[in-house]
Amino acid sequence: MPIRPVADIAYKTGDKLGEYEAQCCKLDLYLPRGGKNLATLAWFHGGALKAGAKDGAETPKIACALARDGIAVASVNYRLSPKATYRAAGRGKLSVLSSQTQFVWPLCTER
């Protein structure tokens, strides 16, 4: 099944975002072509909140393989320490698959 990658989608927006937060709070979507109401996996890179990125060495390969099998993958960047606290990083992750993201892309977060 062909896939459609979409890079650097902001999942947090607004006038109150700092430059670092606006830069970091983005995700890449790997979508099966033509799918609707897709099962969705939110992929948060490792790195103990100190390192890592949504497009790390293995992430695109894994995300593409899952998308070819019919699963949409949201590969997520988030704020890292010391610029963000543990609590702030957690709050950011919770906003990833917000209703705004669901209406723009054909995702089903209940599956």
Domain residue ranges of the chain, discontinuous segments joined by +: 3-108
- List, edge to edge, every strand of the sheet that includes 3-10: 3-10, 26-32, 72-76, 38-44, 107-108
Would you give per-residue pLDDT tens digits along the chain (111 residues)?
Answer: 678 889 999 887 778 878 878 888 889 999 998 777 788 888 888 777 777 888 888 999 999 999 999 999 999 888 777 666 555 554 555 455 554 454 445 555 565
Report whether CATH 3.40.50.1820 matches the domain 3-108.
yes
**CB-based contacts of 37: which residues, under 8 Å, 6+ apart?**
106, 108
